[in-house]
Amino acid sequence: MTSPLPSGETLPQPLLNPPASVAVFLVATIEPGGETAVRDVLGSLAGLVRSVGFPSPDGGLGCVAGVGSRAWGRVFGGPRPAALHPFRELAGPRHHAPATPGDLFFHLKAARTDLCFALAAELVRRLRGAVTVRDETQAFSYFDSRNLLGFVDGTENPVGQAAADAALVGDEDPGFRGGAYALVQKYLHDVDAWEALAVEAQEKIIGRTKLTNLELDAPGSHKDVNTVLGPDGAEQRILRSAMPFGRPGHGEFGTYFVAYARTPEIPETMLRKMFLGGPGAGPDPLLDYSRAVTGSLFFVPPAAFLEALPGS
């Protein structure tokens, strides 16, 4: 399914950009009658990002916007992405991946907190009365790309052409070439229980060394369970965008996880292995210390789609 990087006509939203230092994630549902305001915001999003970020050219402000299955027909006319559907809840014998409400998804990112804040405030202002914000999470990079469990995150992320191949829809759905599916989950960690483990036990759960980030031979580990192979034996890739968030005074320590993929089938297969287990693998041992509290699936249209929205 390899395809060249998209042409100018199918350029993606900035999901392929390198990870930023700061992010704000917004998930909202659309109120009855709010469709026009949502279309206006989506259609003007690129210009809004340019306006907010213009005084700070080194700030790297960007925004990725996605729309959920139940809202797609309400907001846009014409065809819909071939594989778009609601998030599929998973209930295993020990772990639960809930499906939570979400019609709109915004992934704001920048090198500075104030830029994300300013853009988020303007988006919420323009959408006031048209949507209900279901989740707002402010996230940040932590030390040397580590999560709040102390391990380096995103080690296996593809880059360059490999990232585009993993994340962007190709000729299998030509009307939406350059778009991507975004599977979104918010996880809360039991940091006290995690830190009570010996480092060697933590490493066995993760499948990597904590200090040096070297891969271990650890069958059944988090890394092992999250590896999906295709029919040809090759690893199926996604583009992960996971960032820590937290409020120590409230005992909240977590990871906001976004999987960008050209088909939702790959991250959904990962989740089934993680939460339900399978032949010889799973469930993911990390879920004994990390609990999913949200779950949504969105389609991120290519940039040109938002600049020339189809009729409602």
Catalogue the active-site residues: 153
Picking from 183, 182, 180, 157, the residue whose alpha carbon sits closest to that of residue 170 is 180
**β-bridge mates for residue 187, sequence order:** 255, 292
Chain position carrying tokens 């292995």: 273
**β-bridge mates for residue 215, sequence order:** 208
